[in-house]
Structure 1
Amino acid sequence: MSEEELTVLRAQLDDLLDKSWIRPSSSPYRASIVFVRTKNKDLQLCIDYRKLNAQTVKNAEARPRIDDLLERLGGAEYLSKLDLKSGYHQISIRPSDRYKSAFKTQYGHFEWVVMPFGLTNVPATFQAAMTNEFCVMLDRFVLVYLDDILIYNRTLEDHLEHLRRVLETLRRAKYKANRDKCEFVRQELEYLGHFVTPEGISPLSDKIQAIQESPESWNVTDVRSFLGLAGYYQRFIKGYLKIAAHLTKLQCEDRSFDFREDAHESFLALKAALLSAEVLRIYDPLLPTHITTDASGYGIGVVLEQHDGVDSHPIKYFSKKVFVMHSIDDARKKELLAFVHVLKRWRHFLLGRSQL
């Protein structure tokens, strides 16, 4: 272990012990420690729980879809965002189970008193705890994604009242918020990788900048990394599947990697599409809704739009690879198959509507 690693280890152990988040242990469990270099070049102590996680019965994943959360914000004029301080560490591990979290270091054997990062069930457990705490408020004026809590309302009066209720709930449950990361009574803010305003949602400019600065891909890992970034914002890109097709093929492990001209064009086209991505309106159940499908080749492309009385505005784009498309000769059958996929994907938008 290097001198730098020893210094960081000692400092982080001292900090964790001072906060009573860990304690000395005589457990037979002994996870190893590793160091990870953060974006700002600092060393971060991490614990390798892969062996323990492999033996752990997994909790059902309770984390909500980000798209579903964003779609709840239609009509919201006032927003407040709360970030829980050291989120996972605010929940204690049951005393009889703490020995399982033990890890070995050069300076002793320790176990966690509170939930650490790295254990497979920690995110689901934390999400379940937050869901239970705010159950009566969820989807009415509160959204919860792990340690991010969003309060949203149409009127300032309601917003202030609901904000007080949320803060009081946190106080009673003894959860602490990170004041520096909280934002109160805003009309626009960043939320889960998106910029939210009363007019709609758009990708974060720094994320788009990171995509624009991505170098050309030289191996499968590079392609997957780029498509992971771009794919997060595919709801903003019309015909994403078609644009990304040549890059997607490069992810196949059973074929040689060849970043040819068609892949280069796909790479540049995705960058251009994200750079010009428009603000998407948030779905309003009271407005007339229109769906346009395009079925060709091996996939479908769909756009959901709504008319506000003046003009039509895109709500969401969706594309999907459908392998049976190539075997269908009738164009009408292709369009019908596309619509079936739309009904499955956007059932929550369309169910109960008298007209589209």
Structure 2
Amino acid sequence: MDKRFTAFITPSGLFEFNVLPFGIKNSPTAFQRAMDHVFGDLVGKNVFLYIDDVVICGDTKEEVLALLEKVLQRTITSGFYLRLDKSEWMKPTVDYLGYQVGRDGIKVRNKSVKSVTEAAPPTNKAELQSFLGLMGYLRSFIPRYAEHTARMCELLKKNARYEWTDRLQLDFDGLKRGVANTATLHAPRPGSPYVVYRDASGVGVGAALMQEQDGQEVPLEYASRKLSDTERRWDTRERELYAIKYALEKWRDYLGLEKFVVRTDHNNLRYLATAHTGKAQRWALYLVRFNFDIEFLQGSQNNVADWL
């Protein structure tokens, strides 16, 4: 019925598209709406959709086959078509939305790792912006991401002179190593305790969300951000306190209703209970909504902090 909106005139006559074309502004929205209409009640029940990418998963072969039959029946009934050469069946892992997803968790695709590790240093702002765009998509896997990219972001400022220094090369190489050695990010398990590690420096703050699974701590996500010029002038206690606030705000959907632990090697975080400055009091008031304990570690015991 909406085909008429795709009509165009040529010397040979008036034509309309029979299938949804690329390039039309509303194509992604229309396609997603159609997919939700056909498969919507299956979504979240081990069926996941993003436009034309459909993933079916299950704990057993029988479960996957039963869901696959439902999806294929609806595909036929709705007049959709599948490209067999673009389909994968009964695989332990699949590439989905730029990541490799499987039972063990989420990994960076080998293709993305290769693109980063083989990248040459950017020679101008446009190349640097393109590189940082790719890295930003992978930042959840990369400890100390904000620290490594802070100086690069300064180069992108309007009046900044583009000069690739030895310090920038060290940051660039650090990012490449981070991607080459990315850990698998695991899916959270309800009922298992969460552990938050955080760290602050003169450049940025970083955090790691971990969870105890099968007797060991595994990473769920890394996060970091660079500090503004004003934030870099905060004293050490304020930066350390802000690092906790940043982590808990970032992962409030995980931590809001859970009892968890924040592990740190900074005794200054006792400042949390005696905050006197206005902003520190505001942060402390925000943190009291969470149910957590602070565990102090010796620096030699805080191995995760070395990654942040």
Which bin holds the TM-score, normalised by the shorter protein?
0.7 to 0.9
Residue 6 of structure 1 is matched in structure 2 by none
Given that residues 98 and 113 in structure 1 are in contact (C-alpha distance below 8 angstroms), is that contact kept between their aligned partners in structure 2?
A: no
Distance 2:21 2:179 in 1: 36
Distance 1:348 1:180, change over 3 A: same
How big is the shift at 1:298?
A: 4.8
Which residue of the other structure, out of 288, 291, 307, is the alignment partner of 2:193? 288
State how 1:125-274 maps to structure 2 within 5 Å: 125-274=30-179
- 3-state SS of 1:112 partner: coil
Which structure is richer in relative contact order (CA contacts within 8 A, separation 6 or more)?
A: 1
In the alignment, is residue 320 of structure 1 matched against residue 225 of structure 2?
Answer: yes
Amino acid at match of 1:269: G
Distance 1:156 1:97 in 2: 44
Distance 1:293 1:253 in 2: 32
Given that residues 3 and 16 in structure 2 are in contact (C-alpha distance below 8 angstroms), is that contact kept between their aligned partners in structure 1?
A: no
Distance 2:258 2:187 in 1: 17
How big is the shift at 1:156?
A: 2.4
Distance 1:152 1:286, change over 3 A: farther
Amino acid at match of 1:231: G
Deviation string 1:157-184 (CA, Å, 9 cap, x unpaired) is 2222111111112122111111111112
Residue 277 of structure 1 is matched in structure 2 by 182
For structure 1, the residue ranges without an aligned partner over 5 or more in a row are: 1-92
- 3-state SS of 2:89 partner: strand
Distance 1:117 1:124 in 2: 12
- 3-state SS of 1:302 partner: strand
Instruction: Tell me the number of residue pairs that the alignment of Structure 1 and Structure 2 aligns.
Output: 260
Deviation string 1:292-326 (CA, Å, 9 cap, x unpaired) is 11133353201011112422111110112343532
Distance 1:165 1:109, change over 3 A: closer
Distance 1:230 1:98 in 2: 37
State how 1:326-337 maps to structure 2 within 5 Å: 326-329=232-235, 331=237, 333-337=238-242
Using the size of structure 2 for normalisation, the TM-score is 0.77
* TM-align CA RMSD: 2.2
In the alignment, is residue 94 of structure 1 matched against residue 2 of structure 2?
Answer: yes
State how 1:11-30 maps to structure 2 within 5 Å: none
How big is the shift at 1:203?
A: 1.0
In the alignment, is residue 306 of structure 1 matched against residue 215 of structure 2?
Answer: no
Residue 58 of structure 1 is matched in structure 2 by none
Identity, % of aligned positions: 28
Given that residues 103 and 111 in structure 1 are in contact (C-alpha distance below 8 angstroms), is that contact kept between their aligned partners in structure 2?
A: no
- 3-state SS of 1:218 partner: coil
Deviation string 1:8-64 (CA, Å, 9 cap, x unpaired) is xxxxxxxxxxxxxxxxxxxxxxxxxxxxxxxxxxxxxxxxxxxxxxxxxxxxxxxxx
For structure 2, the residue ranges without an aligned partner over 5 or more in a row are: 262-308
Residue 51 of structure 1 is matched in structure 2 by none
Given that residues 298 and 325 in structure 1 are in contact (C-alpha distance below 8 angstroms), is that contact kept between their aligned partners in structure 2?
A: no
Distance 2:10 2:240 in 1: 60
Using the size of structure 1 for normalisation, the TM-score is 0.67
- 3-state SS of 1:186 partner: coil
Distance 1:272 1:128, change over 3 A: same
